[in-house]
Amino acid sequence: MTPYTPAEDSFLLASTIGKFLISSHLQPQIALDIGSGTGIQAETLQSAGIPKILCADISQEAVDYLNSKGFKAQQSDLFSNIKTKFDLIVFNPPYLPGDPKEDPTIFAGPKGNELIIEFLKQAREHLNPKANIILLFSSLSDDKTILEQAIRLGYAFTKLSELPLFQETLYVYQFYCHSSIKTNI
């Protein structure tokens, strides 16, 4: 499976991560780029000066590519092979409604939010105190259900950015389980 090629969603997430780290004055020491693909988010985290970055992807081809670029990367289906806790987790997940067997880099299930909700369930066990998640998803993923489920899972959240496109709107949210600094970017 070929790594996901960066598109407008990847660029929106990278830009938002950079702005978030500057405006929040947070200094994460260890970050996870899950669903890393070609590593655009890991590069953003590295440029922000985060000293420890782990990349994870379901695709072994993506993991090999990331390792060849000098990133520490491992194969993992969400958190299946991740044992560490992080100060920051970033995820540009597959978010379109459709069968993941057809293309697991873009399709996330019948509603498009199944993988995102499962990610939020699993991520809690991998968050250090005062940690943050920065997550991208689409209006096509039934964004209201994602936010309702996040509340049920004990997360608070802040919308950091959005990008209206022809048939959808992309959103980037900060999720946290603490009284974190809210940012205005």
Determine contact, residues 55/140, Cβ cutoff 8 Å. no
pLDDT digits (tens, 9 = 90+) for 19-48: 999 888 889 999 999 999 999 999 999 999
Taking the C-alpha atoms of residue 4 and residue 183, their distance in angstroms, rounded to an integer, is 29
pLDDT value, residue 4 = 66
- CATH number attached to the domain at 8-176: 3.40.50.150
Taking the C-alpha atoms of residue 124 and residue 107, their distance in angstroms, rounded to an integer, is 23
Q: Residue 140: enclosing H or E segment and its boundaries?
A: none
Domain ranges for the chain, please list them: 8-176
pLDDT digits (tens, 9 = 90+) for 153-183: 999 999 999 999 999 999 999 999 864 444 4
Q: Between these two residues, 53 and 108, which has the higher pLDDT value?
A: 53
Taking the C-alpha atoms of residue 116 and residue 151, their distance in angstroms, rounded to an integer, is 14
Taking the C-alpha atoms of residue 70 and residue 46, their distance in angstroms, rounded to an integer, is 11
Rg of the chain's alpha carbons, rounded to an integer? Answer: 15
Q: Is 144 helix (H, G, I), strand (E, B) or coil?
A: helix
pTM higher than 0.85 for the full model?
A: yes
Q: Is 11 helix (H, G, I), strand (E, B) or coil?
A: helix
> What is the greatest pairwise CA distance in the chain?
41
pLDDT digits (tens, 9 = 90+) for 1-22: 556 677 899 999 999 999 999 8
- Nearest partner of 132 among 82, 172, 75, judged by Cα: 172
